[in-house]
Structure 1
Amino acid sequence: MSTNLEIFGTRAIIEAIQAGKEIDKVFLQKGLNNALTSELNTLIKKNGINFSYVPVEKLNRLTQKNHQGAFATISPIAYRDFETLVTQTIESGVNPLFLLLDQLSDVRNFGAIIRTAECTGVHGIIIQKKGGAPLNGVAVKTSAGAAFNVPIAKVDHIKDAIYYLQGSGIQVIAATEKSNISLFEMELSSPTAIVMGREDSGVSPGVLKIVDHKAKLPLMGEIGSLNVSVACGAFLYETVRQRS
């Protein structure tokens, strides 16, 4: 599967944004200041596109082409509207199961999670527009193509998505070691959304405050946590087990 989902060059990225392409992330060279860069900056902020300033060495590693201080990854999928996705799922009569990723940072973990979500019948994955891993070619390849089968929605803030899900009658459960309750004590047969956190820091404190329940996986060894994609698989398959 091709991972060639990239644009390089300031003008090319500007034209892609103006054409309505789904830009996942833009990398901009630190310290560049000219009219074209300024135009690109304005467009990025106006469209709420995820971006970061990086040294030129980082851009040179991302591409061997003449990048002019700007490099972008394009989403290989069309993102779904979050509220429409939730409404349509509920109206279809299925028992909703959603997955929220709170600032996940590793594209391979992202891809592995999408693959597991597809295998366990997740009705939609919700990610935040800024701060998380991009759905780039590496993520798609790691998902073994599942990224084309699971609806994925982007939201401005994960907390707003949680409030909307709760208001729609869907319980929200965070996977966190900061809980005294085991996953296996949770009731997962009702409409559910599971929140998985960032690799190094877990689910953010603000999100933990507003979820309905917090659950952890029992760990029998010396290491204090699992890889997030492995933990996510455990949570999703326990949900499948209870529902079947």
Structure 2
Amino acid sequence: MENEVSKIFGLRAVIEAINSGKTISKVYLQKGLNGPLFSELNTLIKKHNISNSYVPIEKLNRFSKNNNHQGVAAQISPIDFVDLESLIATTLEKNTTPLFLLLDQISDVRNFGAIIRTAECTGVNGIIIQKQGNAPISADTIKTSAGAAFKMPICKVDHIKDAVFQLQAEEIQIVAATEKTDNLIYSIDLTKPTAIIMGSEDRGINPSILKIVDNKAKLPLLGEIESLNVSVACGAFLYEATRQRLA
């Protein structure tokens, strides 16, 4: 269970949190909720493109000890997200070869945390996620990242495609981790400015994104299992980039 301190409850409380500029990771709404305050909240959720889902009242009751949630709970992010344009500019100003990581809707908080930890250890300049569909930065994410989430710049974008085009405009190659290729990661030059994309646990990288990347690469699988855990695969990709850059 995520740390309850990072959640707020009640229609008015969540509305005020959004209006005050709090970074909201996700809003949980009771199925069948209606009324003027709900309409106001729903408008804010759409305006700010906040991740949300409708859940049974039993889930909200588990979140709130006194069940005084009015059908709404919100997860407040423990970190401040950074602007993608600023991150790219700051990274390019450094005397290093940029390395970014894009996550196409990783849904498991522990996978997300493990990826953040590995990214920090391999010198990734920033992680880019989509506002909708990605696991939130929760207490479990922070714990699994061993605190790396407080050190790693993380950006939220409306669509991963937008980030791809923005990075390509700065001559940063986009490498997609996918089984839909014959190229092994070891054949890709990762000493150049690079952004690696990892796909979700269940469907991989969105086909529309695969169409616009510069390179596709995979890891060799020599056993009978057809895929690796995404955080493990991400580690293998990032350490191959590290190996090439240290060579």
Question: Which TM bucket (shorter chain)?
Answer: over 0.9
Q: After superposition, where does 1:30-69 map in structure 2 within 5 Å?
A: 30-65=31-66, 66-69=68-71
Q: Confirm or deny: 8 A CA contact 1:99 1:194 kept in the other structure.
A: yes
2:18 is the alignment partner of 1:26: no
Deviation of 1:225 after TM superposition, in Å, equals: 0.3
How many residue pairs end up in the alignment? 244
After TM superposition, give the deviation of residue 215 of structure 1 in Å: 0.3
Q: Distance in 1 between matches of 2:14 and 2:213?
A: 38
Q: What is the match of residue 86 of structure 2? A: 84
Q: Please give the alpha-carbon distance, in whole angstroms, between the structure 2 residues aligned to 1:95 and 1:4.
A: 39
Residue by residue over 1:121-176, the C-alpha shift from the partner in whole angstroms, topping out at 9 and shown as x without a partner, is 00000001111111111111111100010100111110010011011010000001
CA shift for structure 1 position 64? 2.6
Residue identity over aligned pairs, in percent, reads 65
Other-structure match for 1:160: 162
Structure-2 separation of matches of 1:4 and 1:224 = 40
Quote the Cα distance in structure 2 between the aligned partners of 1:227 and 1:55: 30
- Is 1:181 the counterpart of 2:180 in the alignment? no
Q: What's the CA shift for 1:61?
A: 2.9
Q: 1:135 aligns with which of 137, 142, 146?
A: 137
Q: Which residue is 2:234 aligned to?
A: 232
Provide Cα deviations, 1:40-75, integer angstroms capped at 9, x if missing partner: 111111111111111212222333331110011111
CA distance in 1, matches of 2:80, 2:34: 32
Q: Which TM-score applies when normalising by structure 1?
A: 0.97
Distance 1:64 1:9 in 2: 13
Query: TM-score, normalised on structure 2?
Result: 0.96
- The superposition leaves residues 149-206 of structure 1 with CA deviations (integer Å, 9 ceiling, x where unpaired) of 0100111110010011011010000001111001111110010000000001101101
Q: CA deviation at 1:39?
A: 1.3
Q: What does residue 195 of structure 2 align with?
A: 193
Do the aligned residues in 2 keep the contact of 1:166 with 1:172 (CA within 8 Å)?
yes
Aligned residue for 2:28, secondary structure, equals: strand
Contact kept? 2:3, 2:138, Cα under 8 Å = no
2:127 and 2:152 in contact (8 A); partners too: yes
* Matched AA of 2:62: R
Report the equivalent of 1:218: 220
CA distance in 2, matches of 1:35, 1:163: 39
**TM-aligned CA deviation for residue 232 of structure 1:** 0.2
Amino acid at match of 1:6: K
Question: Bigger CA drift: 39-48 or 168-177?
Answer: 39-48
Tell whether the 8 Å contact from 1:3 to 1:136 is kept in structure 2 after alignment.
Answer: no
Within 2, Cα distance between the matches of 1:93 and 1:167? 19
C-alpha contact (below 8 Å) 1:3/1:138 kept by paired residues: no
Corresponding residue number in structure 1 for 2:153: 151
The offset of 1:3, in angstroms, is: 6.4
| Unaligned residue ranges in structure 1 (runs of 5+) | none
Q: Which runs of 5+ in 2 are unaligned?
A: none
Distance 2:4 2:152 in 1: 19
Corresponding residue number in structure 1 for 2:116: 114
2:175–2:196 CA contact under 8 A, matched in 1? yes
Residue 69 of structure 1 aligns with an amino acid whose one-letter code is G
1:93 maps to amino acid: N
Q: Does 1:100 align with 2:140?
A: no
CA distance in 2, matches of 1:163, 1:200: 25
